[in-house]
Structure 1
Amino acid sequence: MKRVINFMGIRRVAFAVTLLLTLVSLASLAVRGLNFGLDFTGGTLIELNYERPVELSSVRTKLGAAGYGDALVQSFGATTDVLVRLQGDDPQLGEKVASALRQSASDNPVTVKRVEYVGPAVGEELRDQGGLGMLLALGAILVYVAFRFQWKFGCGAVLSLFHDVIVALGVFSFFQIPFDLTVLAAVLAVIGYSLNDTIVVFDRIRENFRLLRKVELVENINISTTQTLLRTVATSVSTLLAVLALMLFGGEALWGFSLALFIGVLAGTYSSVYIANLTLIWLKLTRDDLIPAAVEEAETDLRP
């Protein structure tokens, strides 16, 4: 057998790091909260069309000089289309913004294509539904893993996913990075990604309980994690490279989405190795939990 890495040898250090990150994230969420974007708080969305391509930085500068420094400016399809998001419910806000831009750039005419207002009630409903969706996803995962493996595995998977979500939300809260629907979508995607990694390790642990009958749980976890390490590293690195490309070249519209994915992939890789496996140790998973004694005796009798 190839060399086995003693992952669980530093499990106390890993637990301390996990506890610290989780507490800091929860404290930040409780004290600072999330910096909800217009999708959740309500506001006005203005789509502008320029006659010629325009730089987003120049649009932001002109809006700031006109008193709209909090405006979120991003490209929308073609380089001549710009999307502006602003707080406020003034029905004339779109024309006021376009007028301010026309005065500062008469050489590149701009027209208003559409103006939409998202009320705070709608934003609050989106926020509540998004939180409920995450809770339902975690509950469904608990039921699935408990049915597919065993309830102790289900607890490990949910604790692992809970850590990933809390850490990602904690980073957005601590640095007050805008949290909108695209970030929420990334957090939900992280749940699926992290679960996939965890299931691979769990499946190998269950298999090794049958193959390595004299191996204790901690050693089984070390062996199983080592056996799946190459697959985990390859998947995580390739995903991080793709997400990093989005962060660097995706523009402002995809920055929050890609950042949440980047944090989630890192946290998910870590939690699949430590948090999920540590939960199995805390709950004292045994061979009998997966292989009833009668079945094990029957398998032994059938061996030559």
Structure 2
Amino acid sequence: MAAETKTKYPYPFPIVPRAALWFGIAIFLIVAGLGKMAYNKSTTGSALAWGIDFTGGAAYVYSFDPELPGANAPDTIAQVREAAGAAVDLSGAAIQVFPQGNQVQIRTKTGSEAKDTTTASHQAATEGAAIESALAAKFGDVEMVQHELVGPVIGEMLRKQAILALIIGILLIMVYVYIRYNIAGLGGGWLFGLSAAISVLHDAVLLTLVYAFTGHDVDTTYIASLLTVIGFSMQDTVVIFDRIRENLRKLDPLQRRQKVHLEAVVEASVWQTMTRSLITTLTTIAPLLLLALMGGVGIRNFAFAMMAGMLAGAYSSIFLAAPLLLKMQEAAGRRAAARGDAPRIERPVRA
């Protein structure tokens, strides 16, 4: 009797057949992030480290020459807080260390409760100079290289505008994908649009949760990075969806209603665009890594957000968007079959 032969899987590993695994990883990361946000809320009073762009207040960046005090970041923060706290009230202030540039950022709520911009600016200038003098008296050559002030009214307005920009962006993405893919194919344009919207929403949530874990400031740089990442992620997703649409046209109407053929098309489409997706992500992350290591404070924050968002976007485009599209199409097919509108989509029985 001839030995039974098995067909070798044509790709390095399965993506669509293991959709539950990829969904589970995403859900685990989100749940862990939400847990971290809850912990932050219970310990610091805020789930995220809102920057002064949203809360109002002042931020100062001081450069130390030739090096930062302390053996490590926590030690540096403790010494800076002790020295600056002798001159001003730093209760509720946040201190962040940037060892690449021998810089320390101090964020306070000074000016957030002032009734006018002139008063807030005067309060912040006085505080910034006092901190600089106190640090220079203890550590030697210290210079304030950056000073930023945002009033509370502007901060609240920016927060509302940021949320509105995110909502409008996701809705426009859904409309664009619906129009682009509202043709005969895998469930029509609305399924493509919904799966794309869920994927980019995953990117937004995951990037926000990364900020919760790392303690980076959620400011306008974060919003700019988020919207840019959504654009990159959407571009990758559309490339995969285009390939799915092209491959679907090779199937006859009966095959399009059979799960085994749909899975094969989606799996093949993801792998056919895999190289392009990985190269796009890596070539974008490479210069961002250099910016994160060598740039100034503002540039480093932007580069960090972009790198985290690009990784989240690559994951959602490859492992979430296409499998999610297939799962939603199957659910839509079952509902249509239950109503008698269409044959149920199911895997053919093999002997």
Does TM, scored on the shorter chain, surpass 0.5? Answer: yes
Cα distance in 2 for residues equivalent to 1:47 and 1:21:
33
Would the aligned equivalents of 1:194 and 1:272 in 2 still touch at CA under 8 Å?
yes
Would the aligned equivalents of 2:203 and 2:313 in 1 still touch at CA under 8 Å?
yes
Letter in 1 for 2:52: L
Who is 1:184 aligned against? Answer: 223
- Note the alpha carbon deviations across 1:16-54, whole angstroms, 9 max, x for none: 112212233344445632110111111135699x9xx95
Would the aligned equivalents of 2:83 and 2:134 in 1 still touch at CA under 8 Å?
no
Cα distance in 1 for residues equivalent to 2:52 and 2:155:
7
Who is 2:20 aligned against? Answer: 12
Who is 2:321 aligned against? Answer: 276
Match of 2:194, SS?
A: helix
Query: Is residue 203 of structure 1 aligned with residue 203 of structure 2?
Result: no
- Give the alignment partner of residue 87 of structure 1, picking from 104, 109, 112: 109
Who is 1:161 aligned against? Answer: 200
- Note the alpha carbon deviations across 1:147-170, whole angstroms, 9 max, x for none: 111111001100100111111101
Who is 1:295 aligned against? Answer: none
The worse-fitting range, judged by mean Cα deviation, of 139-148 and 38-47 is: 38-47
Cα distance in 2 for residues equivalent to 1:114 and 1:210:
57
Cα distance in 2 for residues equivalent to 1:151 and 1:242:
36
Cα distance in 2 for residues equivalent to 1:263 and 1:233:
15
Match of 1:44, SS?
A: strand
Query: Number of matched residues?
Result: 278
Cα distance in 1 for residues equivalent to 2:174 and 2:131:
53
Query: Is residue 65 of structure 1 aligned with residue 65 of structure 2?
Result: no
Would the aligned equivalents of 1:42 and 1:87 in 2 still touch at CA under 8 Å?
yes
- Residue 94 to residue 161, structure 1, CA distance change in 2 (3 Å): same
Root mean square deviation, CA, Å: 3.5
Letter in 2 for 1:88: T
Match of 2:273, SS?
A: helix
Q: Tell me, which stretches of 5 or more residues in structure 1 are unaligned?
A: 289-304
Query: Is residue 142 of structure 1 aligned with residue 174 of structure 2?
Result: yes
- Note the alpha carbon deviations across 1:198-227, whole angstroms, 9 max, x for none: 000000000001124457111001111111
Who is 1:101 aligned against? Answer: 132
- Give the alignment partner of residue 229 of structure 1, picking from 271, 274, 281: 274
Letter in 2 for 1:274: F
Q: Percent identity?
A: 31
**Structure 2 length-normalised TM:** 0.68
The worse-fitting range, judged by mean Cα deviation, of 3-12 and 62-71 is: 62-71
Who is 1:39 aligned against? Answer: 53
The worse-fitting range, judged by mean Cα deviation, of 7-16 and 212-221 is: 212-221
Say which structure, 1 or 2, has more relative contact order (CA 8 Å, 6+ apart): 1
Cα distance in 2 for residues equivalent to 1:55 and 1:178:
26
Cα distance in 1 for residues equivalent to 2:146 and 2:289:
33
Cα distance, 1:256 vs. partner?
2.5
Cα distance in 1 for residues equivalent to 2:317 and 2:266:
11
Who is 1:296 aligned against? Answer: none
Cα distance in 1 for residues equivalent to 2:229 and 2:310:
7
Who is 1:292 aligned against? Answer: none
Match of 1:127, SS?
A: helix
The worse-fitting range, judged by mean Cα deviation, of 229-238 and 196-205 is: 229-238
Cα distance in 2 for residues equivalent to 1:151 and 1:17:
26
- Give the alignment partner of residue 127 of structure 1, picking from 144, 148, 159: 159
- Residue 147 to residue 55, structure 1, CA distance change in 2 (3 Å): farther
The worse-fitting range, judged by mean Cα deviation, of 268-277 and 61-70 is: 61-70
Cα distance in 1 for residues equivalent to 2:205 and 2:245:
28
Cα distance, 1:229 vs. partner?
1.0
Cα distance, 1:278 vs. partner?
1.9
Q: Tell me, which stretches of 5 or more residues in structure 2 are unaligned?
A: 1-8, 42-46, 70-75, 112-119, 182-188, 334-351
Letter in 2 for 1:210: R
Would the aligned equivalents of 1:14 and 1:274 in 2 still touch at CA under 8 Å?
yes
- Give the alignment partner of residue 233 of structure 2, picking from 194, 217, 228: 194
- Residue 92 to residue 267, structure 1, CA distance change in 2 (3 Å): closer
Match of 1:19, SS?
A: helix
Who is 1:21 aligned against? Answer: 29
- Residue 104 to residue 283, structure 1, CA distance change in 2 (3 Å): closer
- Residue 92 to residue 167, structure 1, CA distance change in 2 (3 Å): closer
Cα distance in 2 for residues equivalent to 1:212 and 1:4:
21
